[in-house]
Amino acid sequence: MSKNRFAGNHPSYKKRNMSPSQVKAKREYDKKYNGTEERKKYRVKLNKKNRENKTYGNGDKKDLSHTTGGKLVQEPQSKNRARNRGRKKRREGGRVVSYPALPSINQN
């Protein structure tokens, strides 16, 4: 069995009623985005902090979490990853706007 039980079949795809072509397009976009130098440097920075706190790869179920002030604090993965699940917002012109659904892709 694979390490990630949702690999290639995440429940959010079904929730968003994404077609296989839309899922493929999203994966291609995510791969391109996560491969940028900026994202690589960001991951390196976070992994380095995890190693400094001796929580990287040891199975202690702890994460480093960003506080509102920008500091990193250690807390359980479940708390850190669940905090904004389903409630992520973005600011646009001073007001809070929910993230839009992914655009549909023409299947021509």
Q: What is the pLDDT of residues 56-71, one digit of tens each?
A: 888 888 888 888 888 8
The average pLDDT across 78-85 equals 78
Q: What sign results for the dihedral spanned by CA atoms 20, 21, 22, 26?
A: positive
What is the end-to-end Cα distance of the chain in Å, rounded? 36
CA 71 to chain centre: 19
CA of 81: how far to CAs of 28, 29, 37, 78, 86, in Å? 24, 22, 24, 6, 11
Q: Residue 35 pLDDT more than 90?
A: yes
Residue 36 confidence (pLDDT): 95
Task: Report DSSP state, residue 19.
Answer: -
